[in-house]
Amino acid sequence: MKLLALETSCDETAFAIFDFTSEREFTILSEQLNSQIDIHQEYGGVFPAVAKREHTKNLYPLLIAALDESGLLIKRTQSTDVPQEIMDKLHVLLERDPDNLELLVRFYEQYEFPDIDAVAVTYGPGLEMALWTGFNFARALSHTISAELVPTNHMEGHIYASLITQNEEGVFTVQDPQFPNLNLLISGGHTELVLATSEHNYTKIGKTLDDAVGEAYDKSARLLGIPYPGGPQISKLADEYRSVSQSQTLRITLPRPMLHTKDYDFSFSGLKTAVLTQTQKQDEITNLFKQELSFELEESIAEVLIKKTKRAITEYGVSSLIIGGGVSANNHLREKFTELCEQERIKLFLPEKKYTGDNAVMIGIAGYRRFINKKYPKGVERVLGRLSLED
């Protein structure tokens, strides 16, 4: 079956079209991604109204590009009118997005129905203004082309992004992680330890009480004058310290927040305060200072994440650990968690670097698995900015 996926929960507008050939095998016919990072950089973070504007502008051109690349964009020999029932529905769903309404009407008039069985779309968690744009567009599209709508959880998408492997012929497989397993989700908005007892059945055992790991990276970066999102740059500076400057004595220490608490919760907001204090103590922000601070920040974050995850692995007797979310691109964490899982003799699932950040491929896989397992929510009429994996 063919499935189209759409993601607009934050600052990426992304489409993917899949051909699923069995329950766990697929090829990707097209992947389209437009990142707004450059636009948001001047605000120092993602600005919801700007994200909404950009998504609205990108949706239709990316849809056409995705269909075209998939070979599913076929002109009608004769233009046809949109039936009244579909027209009414489009008007309701895209009342606040007249440009895309008009474009989808023209799409119906000009193109054959693409051979797509389902449309998976992120309906949370994320920025509600951003989520609404993609959600309403996907609803309208699914009506226009008579495809099933599969509302999909963004964080479950990050989990599935870690489970895929690709062979030389380009065929992807969704691996079975075995249950129970533990999921460590680390992104710009989330830091969660989630136990999965079977597919789609989650229990959150730990979460951040304030900032997410990605935020700790981004906010610390900002204090060092590094533009949003600062995670990758901090990681680069830390690696420089490891490889070049580590012969110098480290003069900075940062706290290890909640390292010894008995729960599985985290707290990272104190780290940025500690970074601020360290920064204020300096007469001059040298490159060596930035490297040292980045190194110490990474060490602190890794130590806390590893210690709590290790304890949860033992307590819950899991057979695998799945790491997902934008921060899973971090090299230091990838190494540390690889070592941990070797020691614990459990399997580690990490996403390929390409799929660590937000994308529509992860949404399509999560949506497809829910679709074939008949476990997707029906009749969803609104996005949920704080949607949880337990909902």
User: Which residues are at the interface with ligand KG4 (CB under 6 A)?
Assistant: 10, 187-189, 214, 217-218, 229-232, 235, 325-327, 329-330, 357-358
Minimum Å gap between C-beta 219 and Zn ion is: 17
* CB neighbourhood size of 163 (10 A): 22
- 231 contact, one of Zn ion, ligand KG4, none, CB 5-8 Å limit per kind: ligand KG4
Strands of the sheet containing 347-349, edge to edge, are 201-207, 191-198, 181-186, 320-324, 347-349
Give the count of beta carbons closer than 10 Å to the beta carbon of residue 258. Answer: 20
CA distance 325 to 188: 8
Which residue number, 311 or 332, has a Cβ lying nearer to ligand KG4?
332
- Distant-in-sequence, close-in-space partners of 17: CB < 8 Å, separation ≥ 6: 2, 3, 4, 5, 28, 29, 30, 66, 67, 69, 70, 72, 116
Identified binder of Zn ion from the candidate list 58, 187, 294, 328, rule CB under 5 A: 187
Cβ 158 to Zn ion, closest distance in Å? 6
Measured from the CB atom, the residue of 236 and 251 that comes closer to ligand KG4 is: 236
Nearer to ligand KG4, 147 or 329 (CB): 329
Tell me how far, at minimum, the Cβ of 189 lies from ligand KG4, in Å.
4
Residues near Zn ion (CB under 5 A), total? 2
Query: Of 232 and 377, which has the nearer Cβ to ligand KG4?
Result: 232
How many CA atoms within 13 Å lie on the side-chain side of 110?
A: 8
Stretch of 50-58, 214-222, 247-255, 353-361 contacting Zn ion, by CB under 5 A: 353-361
54 or 358: CB nearest Zn ion: 358
Q: Does 11 bind Zn ion (CB under 5 A)?
A: no
Nearest-5° angle of CA 26, CA 29, CA 34? 120
- The partner in contact with residue 229, picked from Zn ion, ligand KG4, none with C-beta cut-offs of 5 to 8 angstroms by kind, is ligand KG4
Nearer to Zn ion, 99 or 391 (CB): 391
Map residue 195 onto helix, strand or coil.
strand
Q: How far is the CB of 329 from ligand KG4 (least distance, A)?
A: 4
Q: Which residue intervals of 242-286 are DSSP H helices?
A: 269-281
Shortest approach of Zn ion to residue 46 CB, angstroms?
11
With CB under 5 to 8 Å by kind, the binding choice for 368 among Zn ion, ligand KG4, none is: none
| Choices 238-246, 293-301, 305-313, 354-362 (CB under 5 A): range interacting with Zn ion | 354-362
Nearer to ligand KG4, 7 or 292 (CB): 7
Extract the runs of DSSP E, i.e. beta strands, from the chain.
Answer: 2-7, 12-20, 25-35, 118-124, 148-153, 164-166, 172-174, 181-186, 191-198, 201-207, 320-324, 347-349
CB 358 to Zn ion: min, Å = 4
| Full 3-state SS string of 324-346 | ECHHHHCHHHHHHHHHHHHHHCC
Rounded Cα distance between 23 and 369, Å, is: 8
Instruction: Considering only residues 65 through 124, tell me which ones interact with Zn ion, judged by CB under 5 A.
Output: none
CA distance 124 to 135: 10
CA 173, 193, 333, 279 torsion: positive or negative?
positive
Q: How far is the CB of 127 from Zn ion (least distance, A)?
A: 11
Q: Which of 7, 192, 296, 358 binds Zn ion (CB under 5 A)?
A: 358
Residue nearest to ligand KG4 (CB): 326
**Which of ligand KG4, Zn ion, none does residue 157 bind (CB under 5 to 8 Å by kind)?**
none
> Under 8 Å CB-to-CB from 199, ≥6 apart: which residues?
179, 369, 373
Count how many residues are written for the chain. 391
Residue whose tokens read 């190494």:
335
Return residues touching Zn ion (CB under 5 A). 187, 358
